[in-house]
Structure 1
Amino acid sequence: MCREALLEQIDQASFAVDDVKLYLNTHPDDQEALRFYEQHRDARLNLLQQYAQQFGPLTADLVYNTQCWTWAQTPWPWEKEA
């Protein structure tokens, strides 16, 4: 998957997670919303991990390389690939 398409999917999943978190603040017992949150939270994490494997971590907590700190070694998401 290309970088831009993956970033767009991450943005969409992030929006869904953030939106339902706001809803859950006022409707904490809504089981359907809780399932929606879990589903999209897991999808977002999967997408973030996929992005990190292909293009480098989007956030510092996604650095999984124990041999080298790779957080600042890859292009930032808004930078064009060389």
Structure 2
Amino acid sequence: MYENPLLIDIMKYMFYAIDLNLYLDNFPTNSKATKDYKMVSEKLDSLICQYEQAYGPLTNFGSSSIEDPEKWTSCPWPWENE
């Protein structure tokens, strides 16, 4: 379904971040999980930035790192890049 390895990595790290977030909801004092969550979040931010620089924004409403607003209308949507 998805052939872009960068997009696949983003989905994996998103799942990992959500899973760690849920774990930390139940065990907020677990320092290893907190450290892992910070590492995963930083990696996820980096992957999203790389993807958006190469293919355009993944999200809207100001949470995207894209600086050129014309990319919203001039670039294909992520699923159109395949």
TM-score range, shorter chain: 0.7 to 0.9
Distance 1:63 1:32 in 2: 29
What's 1:12 paired with? 12
Identity %: 33
What's 1:23 paired with? 23
Name the aligned partner's letter for residue 74 of structure 1.
Answer: C
When normalised by structure 2's length, the TM-score is: 0.82
- The RMSD of aligned alpha carbons is 1.8
Name the aligned partner's letter for residue 79 of structure 2.
Answer: W
What's 1:78 paired with? 79
CA displacement at 1:72 relative to structure 2: 4.1
User: Which runs of at least 4 in structure 1 moved beyond 3 Å after TM superposition?
Assistant: none
Q: Answer whether contact 1:63 1:70 (CA < 8 A) is retained.
A: no
Runs of 5+ unmatched residues, structure 2: none
- Corresponding residue SS for 1:6: helix
Distance 1:75 1:55 in 2: 8
Q: Answer whether contact 1:17 1:41 (CA < 8 A) is retained.
A: yes
When normalised by structure 1's length, the TM-score is: 0.82
Equivalences for residues 48-67 of structure 1 within 5 A: 48-60=48-60, 61-65=63-67
